[in-house]
Amino acid sequence: MSEECVFCAIGEGRLDALVVGENPRALAFLDRHPISDGHTLVIPKHHSENFLDMPAEDRTAVADLAHDVAHNLSHTLPRFEGFNLLMSNGQAAGQTVFHTHLHVFPRMAGDGYHLEQKPKRVPSDEELRAIQALLLAGVPARSDD
């Protein structure tokens, strides 16, 4: 784990966090700058910079713990009406802490938070098929599975 990484410090217990769930490979804690009440971050305990760097066991552990957190939120928050899962990977995607983390944030009608984006343009079927062909032809084998 990285000495400079704040999430590594949390995962190692060197930095306090409001932990709400844990399994052997992942940790869930309340976000200190929440979008909504109950906004939780789920991290792998072992350092990885982003989703593409995570070993399969950590991907599974993070997903399982995020499911447990969402289930718990849905049964404990009085105004819970839904939730979003969000993971930003890379600076261009808005990642600011370079330790893989998944946001689980509860939603309520009228909470003022919007994820909807309108496309700049709608691609043609031909353009979509060309992208599909590129993706199918260029899929490398994963090294950890």
Judge whether 47 counts as a catalytic residue: no
Domain assignment present for residue 50? The answer is yes
Mind giving me the DSSP string for 4-31?
S-HHHHHHTTSS---EEEEETTEEEEE-
Number of domains in the chain: 1
Which one of 39, 99, 101, 103 is the catalytic residue?
A: 101
Q: Which of 2-6, 90-94, 106-110 has the lowest mean pLDDT?
A: 2-6
Parent domain of 49: 6-111
Domain assignment present for residue 94? The answer is yes
- Is the pLDDT assigned to residue 2 strictly greater than 60? no
Mind giving me the DSSP string for 105-122?
EEE-TT---------SSP
Q: For residue 23, what are its two tokens?
A: 């399994």
- pTM of the predicted model, to two decimals? 0.88
Per-residue pLDDT of 56-95, as tens digits, reads: 999 999 999 999 999 999 999 998 999 999 999 999 999 9
Q: Confidence band (pLDDT; 50, 70, 90) for 142?
A: low
Q: Confidence band (pLDDT; 50, 70, 90) for 119?
A: confident
Q: For residue 113, what are its two tokens?
A: 């938070």
Here the CATH number for the domain that contains residue 47 is 3.30.428.10
Whole-angstrom distance, CA of residue 124 vs CA of residue 128: 6
pLDDT at 19: 98
Domain assignment present for residue 32? The answer is yes
